[in-house]
Amino acid sequence: MTLNVNDLQTPALILDSGALEANLATMATLLPGERCRPHVKAHKTTSLARRQSAHGHLGFTCATPLEVIGMANAGLGHDLLLANESVDPVRLAAMALLVEQEKARITIALDSIETVNAAADAGLREALIDVEVGLPRCGVPPEGAGAIADAARTRGVSVRGVMGYEGHVVGLASHDDRTRLTEEAMALLLRAHGDVGGEIISAGGTGTYAINTWANEIQAGSYALMDTAYSALELPFVQALKVIATVVSVSPKGWAVCDVGLKSLGMDHGNPMVDGADVFFCSDEHTTILPHEGSPLKVGDRVMVTPAHIDPTVAYHDKMHLTEAGGDSIIETWAVDLRGW
């Protein structure tokens, strides 16, 4: 018997196979091969990563050691970058073992003497120097990048190049502002690269994939699934993933309540969107919506919710359901198997 999205317990992730394929094909055309290093933090799903690999994107960016380990054990370890620092000896040793077993090539981000020593002590032998380019998060200031690279090489770590994430820029509504600030950020990264050397200049995201021509690989992730934040930028990618919810209460005053809320939606980029309704507010387990005139809802109806931020939304769920293109029939169910740390 064919399962339909309306047969699912809610809330549940619904992935349109046609939209997904369109997004993967578009990126493979725009940034073929090594020009894109897809970030798996956006979907945390090895089945989806295999689809990206089939489009020629063989190297991947990971946010956590668990993602690195999961990708390697899934046979997707061709060239994995842990684009975050770690000083956890257990996790670092687990990744080093995968390299030793020839299950993966693993490159780790370094931005301090402490991260250099932690990686070297664990036996990891390839790195990028993470450079702070405007986002107040990880990264060594550009003027200090060369010293970190020298320290890494002294410890037997091969430095493949630099990385720097213009995360403060990728979501800006103005294309002109994104362009100007990306150029400023990449000037800092190129300055650091001049001191560090290596063949890789890694940066970028979905919002700057076409703007950032200074990096030779782009760490885009959200393009595969999309969300309302990135859709507002008029990028050539379509919404592929939504959350299906059930209406559990309808007020005589006009609002309806569905069973999706803060515990199943990433909310840091604002409220989600609901087809045929305006979102009033979200609470722990619920979203209160105001149906559009002519679109009444009753208890038991299903609604499609479009998240504002895809990465944390996916991380709240343990599986996603792949549907036929533009339809409601479920053709596969994929485990979100890279959740956690």
String of b and e for 106-127 (b: at least 16 CB within 10 Å)? bbbbbbbeebbbbbbebebbbb
Mean pLDDT for the chain? Answer: 97
State pLDDT tens for residues 78-109: 999 999 999 999 999 999 999 999 999 999 99
Residue 177 zone, left/alpha/beta (φ > 0; ψ -120 to 50; rest): alpha
Choose the weakest-confidence range: 180-184, 217-221, 267-271.
267-271
Region(s) of the chain under CATH 3.20.20.10: 32-219
Model confidence at 179: pLDDT above 70: yes
For residue 291, pLDDT beyond 80: yes
Q: Which pTM value belongs to this model?
A: 0.96
Provide mean pLDDT across the span 303-325: 97
What pLDDT score does 297 carry? 95
Distance CA 18, CA 22 (A): 6
* Mean per-residue pLDDT, 115-144: 98
Strand partners of residue 108: 82, 127
Q: If you classify domain 32-219 with CATH, what class do you get?
A: alpha beta
pLDDT at 222 over 70: yes
Mark residue 262 as left, alpha or beta (left: phi above 0; alpha: psi -120 to 50; beta: remaining): alpha
Above 90 in pLDDT, residue 275? Answer: no
- Residue 295 pLDDT level (bands cut at 50, 70, 90): confident
Residue with tokens 């430095």: 159
What does the pLDDT read at residue 2? 79
pLDDT > 70: percent of the chain = 100
Q: How confident is the model over 31-56, as a mean pLDDT?
A: 98
Phi, psi of 202 (to 5 degrees): -110, 130
Examine the pLDDT at 1 and tell me if it is beyond 90: no
Indicate where the chain has its CATH 2.40.37.20 domain(s): 5-12+237-335
Read off the tokens for 324: 């036929």
Residue 35: its pLDDT value, please?
98
Q: Which CATH superfamily is domain 5-12+237-335 in?
A: D-serine dehydratase-like domain (2.40.37.20)
